[in-house]
Structure 1
Amino acid sequence: MIQIHVLQGAALVWSAEDAREIRERFRLVGTLAGALARKPRQNTRLGLPLQLLPEEARLLAELGAAVLVTSIETQLLAEGEESTQASKVEAYQQELEENYQEQQRLAAAERGALLAQLADHIAEGRARRREQRGETADAVKDSGLLDSPFVLPHGSMMVQLPTAQCHPGRVKQVDWTSPSPAWPYAGHPAHETRYQVFRELWGRGYYLSGGSKFGGDFLVYPGDPLRFHAHYIALCCPPGTPLPLCALVAAARLGTSVKKTLLLCSQSTDGAVLFTSLQWSGLQ
């Protein structure tokens, strides 16, 4: 069962295996929102957690493939739990020290092999510098660099940062059918319309992602977004909510300028999802 951690409306997946299953099995894209451990100051490529749209998280919950959970506030540890926690910390520190010693050994061996390979070049360079300074050339090879001790700085040590655990802490299940601070969408008219549109298009085999960058609710792809461009910009219109003419014209012109079709999505009185596509006739 996939665990989706929700925090103030944000649906996050921390497990790499779950993120892969969500994309390959359920055709849900999501957005990677975490920084890479080796390059935390860049935002070109991101990593876990995978942030899902509210509609994606609800769809997985309705299909029975996932459960929404939220963390329980940390409570004071009981007497027996304190000693257990201390032993876990001690074991973790010991494992870190063993990893450091292993990396120290491997780095020293790699440095020694590189210096041995460059020993002749180093000796030639030193001889040229002695000759330039007018010193007597020493026929004995200087091996001081090869024999010098090597210490790996602790700051250069590679540390594994776990992003998913079998027991990530105390969690409780969130009821996605009723509103709560962790899941405020339940029963909201705009969310209900968006979800019905999302499920209808997903059920027809399309891939969907957030469409805010093009002024819509969703971008609709004929296949995996890694291989296809979006064909439609889906704009959801909740029942009874007016759509100003200037907003409609702006959305249609934006869709045309990025070579996509604007898809107006709404629900009829019987709950069926209706679609209306708009394109500028001059571009036909």
Structure 2
Amino acid sequence: MAKIALRVSNHQAFVWNIQDLEAVRAKHRICGLLIGTLPHLAQQNVFLGVPLTLMPEEAVLLVEKGFAVFIDELKAYYAPTPQELVNWASIRGEEAKRDVERREELKEDAAMSWKLSDAAIQKRKEREAKRAVAKAAAAEGGEDDALFTPTRNIAPPLESNEDSAESPTFAVTIPTESSDLSWYSPDSHTYETISAAKEAGIWSYPSNLHERAKCGVFRDLWEKGYYLGGGMRFGGDYLVYPGDPLRYHSHFVASVLDSPTSSLLPVEIVAHGRLGTGTKKSHLLCGWNDDTREVSYHSIEWSGFG
């Protein structure tokens, strides 16, 4: 099974492929954050599109677990030759021409559908007018004439195909990757480990104790089965969810401490407790032990006295 491609630009990891994006969330419980605009809803900012940007901890976890690889997106492209540019421009021109022809065909089909629909409506009106005339003539003949008028059950006329003319429908397939570019070659710029990516100069995280602590806490909570997201809005490093954030609210706000013996001011403890209670969450203090590579947890909740 092919590994997920994390395309690195300016020390930030992105997921561009739709299948990779699905695997990241459905199989590996990594949410990330969509930052791209949608073509038909460019002005809204509730539901966004590709690319998916990952927190450094998420990217490190995927690579260390062997689920993904880093790709140096800048060096994966090489300068095309003049002939390649000419060929590419020719292909794009032919595609644009086919798109124009297709749009013209759809316009003609739509216009024909409207014409057929108008004709069907006119025929139906003529039939209804003939029935009205026949009914009026029968009423003028009186009841005696009606006794000698042969009757028969007349089934309602079947609607013709013209009456049910609909606008043409069609599907458009949009590729999610620029696989047609012959000057894109990521194979020689792919890195399967964090150390290899650091040596290549495209990745630097984690580079200090605090970053190692964040990676360690993130990994430990992930291995316990939780989903994690950014927790800055709630005064912490992560939001901890029992399931997919699209279905569940977070239960904890996690703050990372570089050591199990790190000091906290009383005002910080009070702030974490009150803020967590106000947002219906518990605040989780996560102490990272860099020697044993283990995490200790303490939760804070505000409670009344007396």
Give the TM-score, by structure 2 length.
0.72
Shift in alpha-carbon separation, 1:21–1:43, aligned structure 2, 3 A: same
Q: 2:211 aligns with which of 191, 194, 197?
A: 191
Alignment of 1:36-185 (within 5 A): 36-72=38-74, 76-77=79-80, 81-118=81-118, 162-166=175-179, 169-171=184-186, 172-173=189-190, 176-177=194-195, 178=198, 182-185=202-205
Shift in alpha-carbon separation, 1:167–1:111, aligned structure 2, 3 A: closer
Moved more, 200-209 or 85-94: 85-94
User: What amino acid is the match of 1:164?
Assistant: E
Q: How far is 1:83 from its partner?
A: 1.2
List gaps (5 residues or longer) in structure 1.
122-157
User: What amino acid is the match of 2:281?
Assistant: K
Residue 237 (structure 1) aligns with: 257
Residue 134 (structure 2) aligns with: none
Instruction: Tell me if structure 2 keeps the 8 A contact 1:217–1:234.
Output: yes
Secondary structure of the corresponding residue to residue 282 of structure 1: coil
Instruction: Tell me if structure 1 keeps the 8 A contact 2:206–2:215.
Output: no
Instruction: Tell me if structure 1 keeps the 8 A contact 2:284–2:298.
Output: yes
1:27-85 residue CA offsets vs partner (Å, 9 max, x unmatched):
111111100012222212101011111111111101111111222356544xxx32133
1:131-160 residue CA offsets vs partner (Å, 9 max, x unmatched):
xxxxxxxxxxxxxxxxxxxxxxxxxxx997
Sequence identity, in percent?
Answer: 33
Q: How far is 1:116 from its partner?
A: 4.2
Instruction: Tell me if structure 2 keeps the 8 A contact 1:196–1:273.
Output: yes
Alignment of 1:208-223 (within 5 A): 208-223=228-243
* CA distance in structure 1 between the aligned counterparts of 2:287 and 2:220, rounded to whole angstroms: 11
Choose 1 or 2 for highest CA Rg.
Answer: 2
Q: How far is 1:248 from its partner?
A: 2.9
User: What amino acid is the match of 1:173?
Assistant: T
List gaps (5 residues or longer) in structure 2.
123-170
Q: How far is 1:114 from its partner?
A: 2.5
Instruction: Tell me if structure 2 keeps the 8 A contact 1:8–1:184.
Output: no
Aligned-residue RMSD, C-alpha: 2.7
Residue 37 (structure 2) aligns with: 35
Instruction: Tell me if structure 1 keeps the 8 A contact 2:24–2:30.
Output: yes
* CA distance in structure 2 between the aligned counterparts of 1:247 and 1:100, rounded to whole angstroms: 63
User: What amino acid is the match of 2:194?
Assistant: W
Give the TM-score, by structure 1 length.
0.77
* CA distance in structure 1 between the aligned counterparts of 2:218 and 2:89, rounded to whole angstroms: 45
Shift in alpha-carbon separation, 1:88–1:67, aligned structure 2, 3 A: same
Shift in alpha-carbon separation, 1:196–1:117, aligned structure 2, 3 A: same
Residue 268 (structure 2) aligns with: 247
Shift in alpha-carbon separation, 1:15–1:115, aligned structure 2, 3 A: same
Q: Does 1:280 find its partner at 2:295? A: no
User: What amino acid is the match of 1:258?
Assistant: T
Shift in alpha-carbon separation, 1:112–1:59, aligned structure 2, 3 A: same
Shift in alpha-carbon separation, 1:93–1:160, aligned structure 2, 3 A: farther
Residue 277 (structure 2) aligns with: 256
User: What amino acid is the match of 2:288?
Assistant: Q
Moved more, 3-12 or 170-179: 170-179
Instruction: Tell me if structure 2 keeps the 8 A contact 1:234–1:263.
Output: yes
Moved more, 2-11 or 216-225: 2-11
Moved more, 161-170 or 183-192: 161-170
Q: How far is 1:204 from its partner?
A: 0.7
Q: How far is 1:241 from its partner?
A: 5.6
1:81-135 residue CA offsets vs partner (Å, 9 max, x unmatched):
32133112201210111122112111221133135434769xxxxxxxxxxxxxx
Instruction: Tell me if structure 2 keeps the 8 A contact 1:179–1:185.
Output: no
User: What amino acid is the match of 1:202?
Assistant: W
* CA distance in structure 1 between the aligned counterparts of 2:110 and 2:118, rounded to whole angstroms: 13
